[in-house]
Structure 1
């Protein structure tokens, strides 16, 4: 892998250790551990003196290592997770290739890059990204990967960088040594992160999602290397299970799901209509005095609360999960508050309609007791 020399050191000198909120931080002036977030890249993990390193970040002119337990200042051997470094290099090299592919295919520039534990994001300087552009850029990126182009590390300065066709020009404020990553004749970019020696080591790169961000940018989500393989394994497994459950081939799965969704919508509409009709019938036979208690399907309860004549009563409808409470006479919020006070749970709503989610189903006698306790005096009636 192409890694700067300072990240290949085998020791680190810890100058001080701090404890904050039960967490331990070991500080060093320089460290072979790459900091999280630097250049958009993930940081290293591993051990210092046998103690696990959980997170690494730059703090001023120091490198802070969050460790699992305290260690004394001193010089220690380090053990850095090489598998993680390989994954980081695959994602980072893949990002360079994909960013260059978008520039080649559609003249779209990369604004920023962030590597996460599951996927990487690339913010592109375009408000909308057509699916054809994504496909063509992805195909070009994978052709570059399959071509096994050599990747070179070039150490120069700001003046020397002008001899290369950089994908993104350097700021005039840059001073000192400049590290360039050159991928054959396909891409040259300034970068301090981890990279592979050959594009073939990336294996594969896949765009898995897109979204519009910050008004005029489009964010793409991508995975490369072993992450891409795991992504395909996961979704292949899901598709196979769905195919078996729905007795449909993978090729026909989309049509099968669409048909089921249409059927589900039709059935939901029919159920809603039946519930409304049933609620209408129920409302005609209910008492309009005191506490009216019913149990049933939630849609029936909701319709009943809307159309029922509860001028002199309060409806308490249990749908096997929550209580639907309605009244035109009483402020039902007081009823809900008292239920929560006595039996726990949660709830809320408006004066004429509210829901109460109990910790457990209540007995009718318990509901009736609360009703009399809250409303018997008449003080909580509306108006």
Structure 2
């Protein structure tokens, strides 16, 4: 016997009693029960499933599978004559608000600009619609939002009606139907006629409000992010907290936040440039000191040094600067950090050694990867040997490449 769908008879039912038809496990080992009647809405038509309790056991999912409505529960329920069922009303009503708000917003874009909704998603926190256009202006979004909220404020009725295929010509449907039997229309008179199997409030006023948050390109369409009902209040609360925090951090009133933030960002960019310039001067100075302290090695000058916790970017810049600032010189720079070893090897133009070949000969010793050009190469790997041992191996390779 098919389960009687109470959610279509009265979408406001919060609790009900039912008899057990079936208790089983699915292929994944999830326990479920099938009831003779239910107000739990199963996932479908773009609307998420209800949750709640059956005889005090949590209902974590509801699906319609092969014609039966399965209530997935945390643990098995003892068989008895009657089950007491309770809907998580806050979740259900949120879904009703979001789903109806989606209908209204999609219809608004259709009425104003003929932008069809090609898909929608009712997310846990934010909802989206993909509308059939390659561009959406600020003014268009505001117009659609304004029209949607005016329909909500008018508190128009929302009707659900089962119709036959031959009756469809009496309705101006917003989009083509995906089924031609068991057709259920959700109607906002003189505004939206749409095939839908979801739950909706009895009037648009219960949606409370629609707020578009932002939008972005999604392939050939535009994805519009929005919230409805109580989620609008939640978004306002969260954004107000952020604004209050920024007002304190920036010591500026709300109306001056953008101006103040831009000024802080500009000052930060200028300070970052000064820091970068000072770093470069410091590295130049450090490179000159290393050049002055270079040792003689096979008729060449050799800079070899082991650092701790230096960045690879600094090592690379040091290696390049040393090679560029003097002739007949080789630089072997190692860095030890978090049980890893990094290395940079460079040479001046007049030294006839391929640094890429040198570094690739020693990288296997540390299970490393890297590479570069014949004049400068870099890499890194595990600390399987000490940095001092790796430095000795590099010196051997340089000697063998001459």
TM-score of the two chains, using structure 1 as the length reference: 0.81
Cα deviation per residue 1:52-108 (whole Å; 9 max; x = unaligned)? 122223334343443222346787442221111111110011111111111122111
Match of residue 255 from structure 2: 251
RMSD: 3.6
After TM superposition, give the deviation of residue 349 of structure 1 in Å. Answer: 4.3
1:53 to 52, 56, 59: 59
Give 1:122's match in structure 2, choosing from 110, 129, 134.
129
Q: 2:180 aligns with which of 151, 166, 174?
A: 174
Residues 2-41 of structure 1 aligned to structure 2 (within 5 Å)? 3-5=7-9, 10-11=17-18, 13=20, 15-18=22-25, 24-26=30-32, 28=34, 31-36=38-43, 38-41=44-47
Q: 2:332 aligns with which of 294, 314, 319?
A: 314
- Taking a change above 3 Å as real, the CA distance of residues 368 and 64 of structure 1, as seen in their structure-2 partners, is farther
Larger deviation, residues 75-84 vs 277-286:
75-84
1: distance between equivalents of 2:391 and 2:21? Answer: 68
- Which has more radius of gyration? 2
Pairing 1:247-326 to 2, within 5 Å after superposition: 247-286=251-290, 287=294, 288-293=302-307, 300-309=314-323, 312-317=330-335, 325-326=343-344
After superposition, the C-alpha distances for 1:132-159 in whole angstroms (9 at most, x for unaligned) are 1101100111111111122222232222
My pick for the range that moved more, 192-201 or 72-81, is 72-81
Partners of 1:324 and 1:91 in 2: CA distance: 53
Alpha-carbon distance in structure 2 between the residues aligned to 1:381 and 1:258: 57
Paired position in structure 2 for 1:134 = 141
**Residue 135 and residue 12 in structure 1: after superposition, are their counterparts in 2 closer, same or farther (change >3 A)?**
farther
Unaligned 5+ residue runs, structure 2?
1-5, 295-301, 347-354
Cα distance in 2 between the residues matched to 1:299 and 1:312: 18
Q: 1:208 matched to which residue of 2?
A: 213
1:218 to 222, 225, 238: 222
Matched, 1:163 2:170: yes
Cα gap change, 1:10 to 1:127, in 2 (>3 Å)? farther
Give deviations 1:185-206, integer Å, cap 9, x for gaps. Answer: 2222121111111211111111
Contact 1:142–1:205 (8 Å) recurs in 2: yes
Aligned position for 1:198: 203
Native 8 Å contact 2:128 2:226 kept in 1: yes
Is 1:95 paired with 2:123? no
**The one of 359, 362, 366 aligned to 1:331:** 359
Other structure's SS at 2:30 match:
strand
Matched length? 363
The offset of 1:124, in angstroms, is 0.6
User: What is the CA–CA distance in structure 2 between the aligned matches of 1:247 and 1:322, rounded to whole Å?
Assistant: 44
Q: Are residue 186 (structure 1) and residue 191 (structure 2) matched?
A: yes
**Distance change in 2, residues 1:321/1:370 (3 Å):** closer
1:70 match: 76
Partner of 1:362: none
- The question of whether the paired residues in 2 share the 8 Å contact of 1:275 and 1:300 is answered with no
Q: Which has the higher contact order (CA 8 A, sep 6+)?
A: 1
CA contact (8 A) 2:359 2:379 kept: no
**Alpha-carbon distance between aligned partners in 2 of 1:144 and 1:34, rounded to the nearest angstrom:** 26
Offset of residue 245 of structure 1: 0.7
- Which stretch of the first structure deviates more once superposed, 286-295 or 124-133? 286-295
In the superposition, relative to structure 1, how do residues 152 and 110 fare at CA in structure 2: closer, same or farther (>3 Å)? same
Question: Match for 1:354 among 362, 374, 379?
Answer: 379
Q: 1:223 to 1:12 in 2, by over 3 A?
A: farther
Contact 1:332 1:353 in 2 (8 A): no
CA displacement at 1:238 relative to structure 2: 0.1
1:42 CA drift (Å): 1.2
Structure 1 residues 323, 279: CA separation in 2 closer, same or farther (over 3 Å shift)? farther
Worse-superposed segment, 241-250 or 291-300: 291-300
* Separation in structure 1 between the aligned mates of residue 205 and residue 386 of structure 2, nearest angstrom: 71
Alpha carbons 2:133, 2:222 under 8 Å: kept: yes
Range 221-230 or range 140-149, more displaced: 140-149
